[in-house]
Structure 1
């Protein structure tokens, strides 16, 4: 019986290695969506896309018949099929997910997977209210409600919105996409609840001095309160070390009646100030809350005009980082001109 020489054995080992590599490559190819494509309504649908299509009900499901063969996305990263009722998109990282209805229409309008949203990473879900829908993408989430349409939520605005409880919170659903606002060098987004607007800024100067919180990156929200004593309340929060912090600045804009009469009931004034823009109690402790209450009372008490405008200012600014002080320090007419209702160190 003939035995293999050393060179022959090396060649044999080489051939075996090549065969193993080819087998592994074949396995990878089989896992691609186009593998084992079926003819569905005259179009080719295969692999993970076919599996997801069958999970949705196939031809009898919401997608209906395919209108294209499986295609490669322009960035070369993913695959997709279009169907009568929507599309299925796949990448190795995000897997296969259907996109349909108003969410798909919005995603298409934004530029499909080349938009800031990127590829879908989950199927569409129904929200807790049983009415709205949402679908998560690589760069954010598209929310839809029949009364408000479909809008993406992402970034710091999305992060802060989530801290309050998403669409089930005070703020409700997004009414608009983000839109640029030159005044804050950032963006704003309107929401359905309490006429609220959420905003983000990389930092801005609000006129004479830098904003106490927004010298650097910050987020916030505001609502037109339109109560007897308060026109609007706005809350700003600093972003520090990549995290939205508890450093809070609150601006209460009083009405004419507020300037005249708000000192008759500090409790009523407090309730009106936060009747729409929620009080940020998650980021403030009891001592800080006490300080804020005294700051607001001081502003209301000393809102009379000395000839150069109200002593307490046109807007009543409350600093969440200011320490608590005694009522005497907060309201003493001799001391008020020195701290102007905003203090950093107690007397």
Structure 2
């Protein structure tokens, strides 16, 4: 079986790694629903391309957040790859739902090497008036603007709108 600690890798090891990577270890394929990415902790957590999308999602934190909010059914397709912010404090991806036109972003905060980095969703999805949180945050300058980085996901207010906390204050979709 393939061992990542070995310095030399023979053809048999490469074949075993490919089989293991594809989820075929033991000759049994593991089914994954077409609309969801494989679990980040699984062997098959390599780049995932949602059905009908061109862009892949590669990092476990992005895959986990994408799955936890409903994947393509909620966010649509990625419109960018994973990118770093200019100050290097976070990585992000943008998404757009072709059915609703809602723009969204997932931000993973912290250095790439840090374990357990938090991932936050910023979205226009819940907005029915065109004043979505993502649009307001984008218009303020994204993470470089007065609101800065997100510190939590949007929370339903119970009064028909959502609010989200950022380092520099709160935004809502009213």
Structure 1-normalised TM-score? 0.30
- Equivalents in 1 of 2:90, 2:47: separation in Å? 16
Shift of 1:108: 0.3
Shift of 1:97: 1.0
Residue correspondence of structure 1 range 50-69 to structure 2 within 5 A: 50-61=63-74, 63-69=75-81
- Equivalents in 1 of 2:172, 2:62: separation in Å? 24
Aligned mate of 1:72, from 84, 87, 90? 84
- In structure 2, runs of 5+ residues without a counterpart are 6-39, 97-101, 112-116, 125-131
- In structure 1, runs of 5+ residues without a counterpart are 1-18, 20-29, 146-347
- Equivalents in 2 of 1:92, 1:72: separation in Å? 10
Shift of 1:133: 1.4
Whether 1:105 aligns to 2:135 is yes
- Equivalents in 1 of 2:49, 2:65: separation in Å? 15
- Equivalents in 2 of 1:118, 1:51: separation in Å? 23
Name the counterpart of 1:204: none
- Equivalents in 1 of 2:60, 2:47: separation in Å? 7
Aligned mate of 1:87, from 105, 108, 112? 105
Whether 1:44 aligns to 2:56 is yes
Count matched residues.
112
Q: Conserved in 2, the CA contact under 8 Å of 1:37 and 1:47?
A: no
Name the counterpart of 1:125: 155
Q: Runs in 1 of length 4+ with deviation above 6 angstroms?
A: none
Shift of 1:89: 0.9
Q: Which structure is higher in strand share?
A: 1
Shift of 1:91: 0.8
Larger radius of gyration: 1
Residues 87-118 of structure 1 deviation map (CA, whole Å, 9 limit, x = unaligned):
11111287111111111001000000011211
1:107 is paired with a residue whose SS is: helix
- Equivalents in 1 of 2:61, 2:110: separation in Å? 10
Residues 247-289 of structure 1 deviation map (CA, whole Å, 9 limit, x = unaligned):
xxxxxxxxxxxxxxxxxxxxxxxxxxxxxxxxxxxxxxxxxxx
- Equivalents in 2 of 1:58, 1:96: separation in Å? 14
Residue correspondence of structure 1 range 146-165 to structure 2 within 5 A: none
